[in-house]
Structure 1
Amino acid sequence: MNIDIAVVGKIKEKYLAEGIMEYSKRLGRYCSLRILEVEDEKTPETMSYKEMEEAKRREGERLLSKIPDQALVIALSIDGKQLSSEELSEKISDLMVRGTSHIVFVIGGSLGLSDEILARSQMKLSFSRMTFPHQMMRMILLEQIYRAFRIIKNEPYHK
C-alpha cells in the first residue's frame, strides 16, 4: 500500500518533527509512506474573504499537482465523516481488499482546503468538530494510520 500525506506548509516545531519522524519510521513496516509538502500562502489578519479564497485556491493547485491521477483521495475536513480508530482501520483494510494501492490524505493550511481539493477527494474525514493546528494534525493523522495498520494486523497497541 502506498500512502501519501499531502500537506500545506513545513513543520517548524521540533517536537512535532520528531513525532512525525517516529510514526513515519514505524509505518515503514506496513506501507510505503511519503509526505508531500507544498508552500503555504501568507495569511495576514486583514485578508478579505476573496483574498482568503484565492490563497486557498493557490494552495489547492499546488496540492493537486502532487496527487497522482489513480490515487484515492481522503481530505481532512472539519465537516467530514468522523470515524473511530477501528472504523478507520476497516476503511483502509476494505480499500486494500478492493484493490486500492494508493491513498493520499490531504491536510490543508490555516485557511482550510480549496473547493477543487474537496471535489477531487472521494472522502472527507474529520477527526473532531474542534479545530487543530494543521501542523499538529500531520502527527495525529500518522499516529492513527499506524494504529489502523496495527489493528488490521491484529497486533497489540490500539487498546
Structure 2
Amino acid sequence: MNPIEEWLRLIRHFETVYVPGLLQTADYARRILTEMVELHNLDIADVDAAVASRMQRQHLLYDTSKRFEFLLAEPVLRWLLCPAEVMRGQLDRRQLMCDRSPSVDVRHVPRNKASGRRRRTDLPNCVRRPPLGSGPRVATGR
C-alpha cells in the first residue's frame, strides 16, 4: 500500500492505455500484469500476489473522506488488451463504480472523430458520467 494514498483526500489519475489499477477487476489486472512481466521483463515473482495487493488497494474507493477523479482516453475503453469477456467484466465494474460511488468520478476524453487528431491548442471535451436519473453532461474545457 502506498502510504501517500492513505492520507490524500483527492486522487486524480489520467490514463491513455490501461484502466487505472484502482478501477481494475482481478481478471483484468492479472492479464495486464502478466503481459507486463512478459513484455517488459518486470520483476514480479508472484502475479497472483500482485493482483491481490492491487485489489486490496481498492478499499480506498469506499473511504467517504476521499475523492477520486479519473480521466480516461477513449482507447482505454476500446482497445482489447485482454480477452473480450475480461474487458466486458472490466467495463461493468467501471460502470458500477460510477453509479454507486458519489466520490468516484470517471470522465472520458473522446477521440476527435473528424481527423483522429487534435491541435495542440485544443482542450479536449470531457464526457462526464451523469448522476442517476439525468442525461449526460459535457464540459467543453474552453
TM-score by length of 2: 0.25
Q: Which of the two has higher C-alpha Rg?
A: 2
Instruction: Work out which structure has the larger RCO, using CA pairs closer than 8 Å and 6 or more positions apart in sequence.
Output: 1
| Higher-strand-fraction structure | 1
TM-score by length of 1: 0.23
